[in-house]
Amino acid sequence: MRPAVLLATAAGAAVLLAVPTPGWGALLGVTSAMLAATAPATPIAYPNSVVSANGGTVTGRPERFDTVTVVFSVQLSQATLCSTWTNGTSSRSVTGTVSITNGGAGNDVLTVTTVPVGTCASGFRFGSLDLGSPGYVTATRTYGTSTIALTQTVTATTLRITLGTASGAGTTVSGGSVMVYTPDPLVADLSGNRCGLNTASSPSVVQL
Amino acid sequence: MNARAGRRAGALAGLGAVALAGVFAASASSLTISAGKASAGRTPVASCGTVVSSMVSWNVVAGNVTSVTLTGLPAGCVGARVTITLRGAANAKLAEVGPVLLTGTTQRLSPLSANPGASVVLSSSLVLTGP
């Protein structure tokens, strides 16, 4: 690998000089055909963690009272999650339907599918949670009267989903992969910084 | 080294020094370095594209960054090798990944040399080098 010099400005613009190994002090030769550099901004609003917990009877099987908890890095604008929510309240919840979509050979995916339109006119912008295994359901299941609860501080936002009554039984996973939470890209903090493509993964390979 | 060769080497060194000084002077406000200045009479620099609009997103596990995804990379940079460095307070290097072959305009990079807490990563630097 050739040594290189990166010069970056405070504004983030930068240029790279690729320098040949022998004696660049004597001869500043640039040998690369494709050069570019920058100092991209690091994310501000992103999911900082996601975990699940068994609240039912069997670990690894989606059941009533199982929970998924996501913690975000910032105080989110609540209206970007649910249209009528405002940031004047630091703790609130909505009841709706959560689905686990059968992924077939692919992983099953948990989403919030239905909430009262009078509360969240455009639905609840949770995003999606890839559960890390195709084995949690053999057909798409819905969990009615699930609770989506929000708690907020000035530095973080927590969403907790508690599964309600299942439309059918799930199956038990004993070994899968980590689950990956992808927030709705439009969810943003109070300054308008969106979650974008940032994701969070669970430490555990068995969920719910 | 004879006297003529010595003068030639000295002149080239001088050109390099002038070019480098020009870069430093320009970096204070905007970077307007030209290919001719940087190459000092040798192979010209050919930028693969504008990367200022490139974005960094990441995957976090329990508060720690485990991978980085780059988006908005110029198509002309595909085939280059990319390195990204995450930095913290006082510009300290916290983690790095690369150089790895850039295969598209969006690319996930892992594993990182370390998994720093996401909240302590304050900046990043992205470098693309040619083949």
Reference B111, options B61, B62, B52; nearest CA is B61
The predicted pLDDT at position A60 comes to 96
Spatial distance between the Cα atoms of B83 and A188, rounded to a whole number of angstroms:
28
Q: Which residues pair with A16 in a beta bridge?
A: A6
- Chain A hits for B94, CB-CB cut-off 8 Å, are none
Distance from A51 to chain B by nearest Cα, in Å? 9
Reference A39, options B112, B55, B99; nearest CA is B55
- Chain A hits for B76, CB-CB cut-off 8 Å, are 34
- What are the pLDDT digits (tens) for B76-88? 888 889 999 999 9
pTM for this predicted structure: 0.77
- Token digits of residue A130: 């890839």
Reference A91, options A160, A38, A12, A43; nearest CA is A160
Reference A52, options A116, A153, A130; nearest CA is A130
Question: Under an 8 A CB cutoff, do B16 and A28 touch?
Answer: yes
Spatial distance between the Cα atoms of B7 and A30, rounded to a whole number of angstroms:
22
Percent of all residues in chain B with a pLDDT value above 90, rounded to a whole number: 46
pLDDT values of chain A reduced to their tens digit, one per residue, 208 residues: 444 444 433 333 344 444 333 333 333 444 444 567 788 889 999 999 999 999 999 999 999 999 999 999 999 999 999 999 999 899 999 999 999 999 999 999 999 999 999 999 999 999 999 999 999 999 999 999 999 999 999 999 999 999 999 999 999 999 889 999 999 999 999 999 999 999 999 999 999 9
ipTM above 0.95, yes or no: no
| Count, residues in chain A | 208
> Could you give the residue ranges of the DSSP H alpha helices within B28-118?
35-39
Question: Under an 8 A CB cutoff, do B125 and A180 touch?
Answer: no
- Chain B hits for A15, CB-CB cut-off 8 Å, are 23, 27, 31, 33, 38
Name the phi and psi angles at B5, rounded to 5.
-65, -35
Spatial distance between the Cα atoms of B127 and B57, rounded to a whole number of angstroms:
16
Domain ranges of chain B: 3-129
Question: Under an 8 A CB cutoff, do A9 and B15 touch?
Answer: no
Reference A126, options A92, A100, A160, A156; nearest CA is A160
Nearest residue in A to B106, CA atom: A197
**What is the 8-class DSSP label of residue A3?**
-
Nearest residue in A to B107, CA atom: A197
Spatial distance between the Cα atoms of A110 and A6, rounded to a whole number of angstroms:
43
Spatial distance between the Cα atoms of B79 and B101, rounded to a whole number of angstroms:
6
- What are the pLDDT digits (tens) for B95-114? 999 899 999 999 999 999 99
The predicted pLDDT at position B9 comes to 41
